[in-house]
C-alpha cells in the first residue's frame, strides 16, 4: 500500500479495492498537476480564483468513472480517503470540495424527502446545482442548537416562507446557487431548512475579510431581509434540530478525515524538507531530536487514520453515534494542531514561508480546529455521552 498513501505505515488503505485505489491515484495526480500549482499564490492573495474553483469542480469524484466501469458502488471508506487526499494537498481545497459534496449534499440527501433527494442529488453531483450550508449566525455559533435566531414565517396568503435574520462564516456562499439556510419556524419554534437562491431578493452577502487561516476559501456574512421562498424550497426531512444533528454526525466524520489528510500533508512536507536541509555538515533528518518529532507526527497520523477507518466502517453498517463523530473530529483536529506545530518547527525559519507548504497547513489547521464544532463543543458531546450529564450550560 505504500504506493496508495506513502505515509500509511500500517496499511489501512489495503481495505480499498483496486478500482478505489485507481480513483485515488487519479485524484492525487489531478491534484498535483491541476490544483496544487494554483494554491500558494491564491493563498498569498487571499483569493479564490475561478480557475481553482473549476479545477476542483472538474475532479471526477462524486461519481467516479473508474468505479462506474468496475461496476462498484461508492463506499464510505472511499469518500473518507477522498477527503484525506484533498486535504493532504490543501485544506482550502478539501473545504471547497466538501462545501458541495459534503455539507450541501448531505443536507439535501439526509434532510430532503426521498423525492427531493432523488431530484437534487444528480444535479449536485454534476454541479448543475451548487450550494452551501448556512447554519452559524453572528450571535450563535456553539449554541446554535438552542439559540438559532433566523426566523421563517409561513405567509398563508402567498403560500411562501418569509425569512429574516443573518448567517456568518458560510463557506463558498458567494460562488454557489443556493444556501441551505436553517431558520426557526415562528409557528412551532422548530428549526427548518430552506434552499435560498443566492440572488433572491432580500439576500445580501459580504465576504469576511482579513482571515489569517483558510485564506483561499471565501466565507460570507449573509443578511436575509423578508426573503420569500416557496414551500418546495423547504427540505421536508428537517423538522427540528435533531434532524440537523443527523447531518452534522456525517459531516463531522468528513472533516475529521480532512484533519488526518492535513496531518499527512504537513508531515510529508516536513519530511521532504529535513532530508534536503543540511546543518552541521549533514541532513538535519539525521539528528535524533528531528527524528523524534517525525515519529510523533507519524504516530499522530497513524492513530488518526486507524480511528477514521474504524469509524467509517461502523457508520457504513448504519451505526451513527453523536459522540463517535464528535470524538473523531475532536481528536484528529487536536493531533493535527500538534503535527503542524512540529512540522513547522523542523523547517526552522523556512517553515513560516509558503514555499515549504507547512506554513499553509499550520495556519489553515486553526480553521479546522474551530469549524464543524469547536474542540470544546465536541468534547462536551463526548462528555455528555460518557457521564450522562450535559455540561454545555
Which stretches of the chain bind ligand FAD, using CB under 6 A?
A: 132-136, 141-142, 169-171, 214, 219, 367, 370-374, 376-377, 392
Task: Give the three cell numbers for residue 96.
Answer: 471547497
Cβ proximity to ligand FAD: between 9 and 245 the closer is 245
In angstroms, what is the minimal distance from the CB of 389 to ligand FAD? Answer: 13
If the CB atoms of residues 177 and 376 are measured against ligand FAD, the closer one turns out to be 376
Identify the CA nearest to 181 among candidates 120, 104, 94, 101. Answer: 104
Gap between the Cα atoms of 345 and 91, Å rounded: 20
Minimum CB separation from ligand FAD for residue 247, in Å?
11
CB of 254 to ligand FAD, least distance (A): 12
**Bridge partners, residue 154, by sequence:** 161
Residue 183's Cβ-count burial label (10 Å; 0-12, 13-18, 19+) is buried
The smaller minimum CB distance to ligand FAD, of residues 152 and 170, is found at: 170
The least CB distance from residue 182 to ligand FAD, in Å, is 8
Q: Which residue is nearest to ligand FAD (CB)?
A: 141
- How far is it, in rounded angstroms, from Cα 258 to Cα 27? 15
Output Rg (C-alpha) for the chain, integer angstroms.
21
Strands 219-230 and 191-197: unpaired
Inter-CA distances, 379 with 231, 322, 330, Å: 37, 11, 7
- Which cell goes with 276? 534536503
Task: Pick between residue 213 and residue 324 the one whose CB is nearest to ligand FAD.
Answer: 213
- Alpha-carbon distance of 212 to 156, in angstroms, equals 46
Length of the chain: 393
Question: Between residues 182 and 273, which has the closer beta carbon with respect to ligand FAD?
Answer: 182
Residue 195: strand pairing partners: 180
CA distance 159 to 140: 29
* Residue 141 or 348 having the CB closest to ligand FAD: 141
User: What is the CB neighbour count within 10 angstroms for residue 361?
Assistant: 27
Distances from the Cα of 300 to the Cα of 9, 201, 257, 313, 334, angstroms: 12, 48, 13, 20, 9
Q: Which is nearer to ligand FAD, 24 or 166 (CB)?
A: 166
Q: Residue 103 Cβ, how far from ligand FAD at the closest point, in Å?
A: 6
Residues in CB range of 84: below 8 A, 6 or more apart: 5, 257, 258, 260, 261, 264, 305, 308
| Distance of closest approach, residue 381 Cβ to ligand FAD, in angstroms | 11
Residues in a beta bridge with 192: 183
CB of 375 to ligand FAD, least distance (A): 6
Which residues are within 8 A (CB) of 299 and not within 5 positions of it... i.e. 6 or more apart? Answer: none
Q: In the complex with ligand FAD, which residue's Cβ is closer, 141 or 341?
A: 141
Decide whether 23 or 368 has the Cβ nearer to ligand FAD. Answer: 368
**Shortest approach of ligand FAD to residue 288 CB, angstroms?**
36
CB of 151 to ligand FAD, least distance (A): 17
* Alpha carbon distance 163, 146 (integer Å): 18
Query: Residues with Cβ < 8 Å from 373, sequence gap 6 or more?
Result: 142, 248, 252, 326, 329, 381
Q: Which is nearer to ligand FAD, 234 or 329 (CB)?
A: 329
Q: What is the nearest approach in angstroms of ligand FAD to the Cβ of residue 171?
A: 4
* Element at 345 (helix H, strand E): helix 322-346
Amino acid at each position: 500500500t505504500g504506493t496508495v498513501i506513502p505515509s500509511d505505515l500500517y496499511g489501512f488503505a489495503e481495505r480499498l479495492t483496486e478500482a478505489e485505489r485507481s480513483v485515488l491515484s487519479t485524484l492525487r495526480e489531478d491534484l498535483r498537476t491541476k490544483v496544487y500549482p494554483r494554491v500558494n499564490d491564491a493563498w498569498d492573495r487571499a483569493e479564490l480564483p475561478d480557475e481553482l474553483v473549476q479545477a476542483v469542480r472538474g475532479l471526477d469524484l462524486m461519481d467516479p468513472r473508474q468505479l462506474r466501469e468496475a461496476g462498484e458502488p461508492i463506499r464510505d471508506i472511499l469518500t473518507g480517503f477522498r477527503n484525506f487526499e484533498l486535504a493532504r494537498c490543501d485544506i482550502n481545497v478539501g473545504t471547497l470540495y466538501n462545501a458541495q459534496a459534503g455539507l450541501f449534499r448531505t443536507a439535501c440527501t439526509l434532510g430532503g424527502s426521498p423525492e427531493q433527494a432523488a431530484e437534487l442529488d444528480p444535479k449536485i453531483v454534476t454541479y448543475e446545482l451548487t450550494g452551501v450550508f448556512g447554519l452559524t449566525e453572528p450571535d450563535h455559533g456553539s449554541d446554535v442548537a438552542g439559540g438559532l435566531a433566523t426566523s421563517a414565517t409561513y405567509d398563508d396568503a402567498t403560500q411562501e416562507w418569509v425569512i429574516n435574520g443573518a448567517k456568518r462564516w458560510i463557506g463558498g456562499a458567494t460562488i454557489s446557487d443556493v444556501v441551505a439556510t436553517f431558520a426557526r419556524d415562528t409557528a412551532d419554534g422548530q428549526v427548518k431548512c430552506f434552499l435560498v437562491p443566492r440572488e433572491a431578493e432580500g439576500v445580501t452577502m459580504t465576504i469576511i475579510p482579513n482571515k489569517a487561516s483558510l485564506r483561499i476559501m471565501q466565507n460570507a456574512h449573509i443578511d436575509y431581509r423578508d426573503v420569500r421562498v416557496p414551500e418546495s424550497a423547504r427540505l421536508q426531512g428537517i423538522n427540528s434540530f435533531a434532524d440537523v444533528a443527523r447531518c452534522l454526525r456525517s459531516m463531522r466524520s468528513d472533516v475529521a478525515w480532512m484533519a488526518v489528510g492535513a496531518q499527512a500533508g504537513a508531515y510529508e512536507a516536513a519530511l521532504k524538507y529535513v532530508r534536503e536541509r543540511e546543518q552541521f555538515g549533514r541532513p538535519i533528518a539525521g539528528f535524533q531530536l528531528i527524528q523524534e518529532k517525525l515519529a510523533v507526527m507519524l504516530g499522530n497520523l497513524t492513530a488518526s487514520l486507524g480511528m477514521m477507518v474504524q469509524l467509517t466502517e461502523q457508520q457504513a453498517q448504519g451505526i451513527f453515534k453523536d459522540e463517535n463523530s464528535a470524538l473523531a473530529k475532536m481528536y484528529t483536529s487536536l493531533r493535527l494542531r500538534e503535527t503542524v506545530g512540529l512540522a513547522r518547527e523542523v523547517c526552522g525559519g523556512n517553515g513560516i514561508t509558503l514555499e515549504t507548504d507547512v506554513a499553509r497547513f499550520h495556519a489553515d489547521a486553526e480553521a479546522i480546529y474551530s469549524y464543524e464544532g469547536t474542540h470544546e463543543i465536541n468534547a462536551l458531546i463526548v462528555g455528555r455521552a460518557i457521564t450522562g450529564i450535559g455540561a454545555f450550560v
